[in-house]
Amino acid sequence: MKNQIKWIVLSFAAIMSCAIHAATKVTVHTARMTPQPPGYEAGLDDHLREKAQRMIIAPTCLLKQVSIPYTQLASSHDLSLIETNSTSISQLIITKLHSKKIGCGGFEDVTYSWQVFKQNTHPTDPAIFLNNYVFPKKPPVKKYGIHFQRDVYYYFTQYDPVVMWNNLNTLTLYEDRYADSDTGVAATNWIKNQIEEMVKQSHRHDVTISFIPTGTDYKQSSLVVKFGNSNEPGIVIGAHIDTVRSDWEGFKPGADDDGSGAVTVLEAARTLIMNHAHFRRPIYFIWYAAEEEGSIGSEYVVDQFVRKNIPIDAVIQFDLTGYAYPDESTLWLMTDHVDSDLTHYLKQLIDTYLNKPVKFTRCGYACSDHARWTDMGFAAAMPAETEMRYTNPNIHHPTDTTDKLSLLHMCDYLRLALAFAVELAEPVETTTSVRHEQIFNGAER
């Protein structure tokens, strides 16, 4: 009991560090700067490439809110499979913000999956294709528990809110991180460069970095970082790196959507990589491309994991972690298009390690990239920064800037990510245990 109390005290110091930096964070300059951010090459052509007809799955309630030309190929349980032109995607993106707030949801671009289905299924029946999404496979029942409290509290003392906040400021310097722009590519490469520098500094040989292209329609690829050499069933901790296009109202900093989630995942990765962590199961840190366009990047990511038979036990998605409405500390969990057992396990993690109030909300269909994992029968869950009806009103606008966000709130979701990683990836005895003892016995502070 005394040991546990001491670790809690040490982790509380890390929490206070977040609070101190949160009190002063708004003084950080967040406006667009010259020269351009790291990885950007001036003069590259960012024109939009014309795209072919798109296959979309969307809830009926969303389609009733838009005026776009489309052909309905199938419908089932308030979902429709439609074919529409590429220019309609912009209207769907604009409309889905309000749609999510009222529990209707967003949409999934399933063009690639539809092409694969047509190649492998004869005759091609749109109703069968749609039903694969209406009635996805159920993941195997898992038993989750709390087993590694000392390890979790140790890593709570190792993250750095200043690093996370500085990383967020860097991401918001890009004109946008749109998936078909060179700035979108540069932002993803910047994340990759941060991981490579961590690996170099920590002298690790168990981190694999790879890109998964987003088909042929988008320049930006998804970034996948495998942490650990094990082939055991792994866990996925993800966020999306893209924003909407800057030609809508101008500059799109995307501080909350989803810069906040992207740097939450990045700081979780840094904390584990730089502190000699070793786990029985691999952890996949993923930054998805083209989420705003209908979760297209995650479609290709999940497809590759399935094709390569890469086993995954649990998936968590951090899409928006910085906006606290109305400046209160509740952590929210999505209840729809998720695995209920894994979602309730997130509540258990919050109750155990964060001691913060937990409430539940719903988004409707296809809220973020975790939905692609759910579609394919994987256990996936998604925390939310606030109740959906009070979602940050600045997202997708030039006003989605860091001064609207709470660093303290972001630290809560960072701690959830670390607890999720440590408990489910299962730490093994390494030299990290010596560092645990050094900190515990007061040799390091």
pLDDT, tens only, 94-129:
898 878 788 898 999 999 999 999 999 888 899 999
Express each pLDDT in 304-339 by its tens digit: 999 999 999 999 999 999 999 877 889 999 999 999
Burial class (CB in 10 A: 0-12, 13-18, 19+), 8: middle
User: Full-prediction pTM beyond 0.85?
Assistant: yes
Determine the pLDDT at residue 429.
75
Cα separation of 29 and 354, whole Å? 30
Cα separation of 200 and 210, whole Å? 16
Residue 32 predicted with pLDDT over 60: no
Reported confidence tier of residue 28, pLDDT bands at 50, 70, 90: very low
Among all chains, which residue has been given the structure tokens 């005026």? 67
Residue 45 or residue 142, greater confidence: 142
Percent of the chain at pLDDT exceeding 70 = 85
For 8-22, 72-86, 363-377, which range has the lowest pLDDT when averaged over its residues? 8-22
C-beta of residue 319 within 8 angstroms of C-beta of residue 258 = yes
Reported confidence tier of residue 6, pLDDT bands at 50, 70, 90: low
Cα separation of 254 and 265, whole Å? 16
C-beta of residue 142 within 8 angstroms of C-beta of residue 91 = no
* CB atoms closer than 10 angstroms to residue 360: 14
Domain boundaries, the chain: 2-38+140-440, 54-134
Encoded tokens for 279: 């786990």
Express each pLDDT in 136-166 by its tens digit: 999 988 899 999 999 999 999 999 999 999 9
Tell me the average pLDDT across 216-221.
Answer: 95
Give Cα 112 to chain centroid, integer Å: 21
C-beta of residue 115 within 8 angstroms of C-beta of residue 52 = no
Which CATH superfamily does the domain covering 2-38+140-440 fall into? Zn peptidases (3.40.630.10)
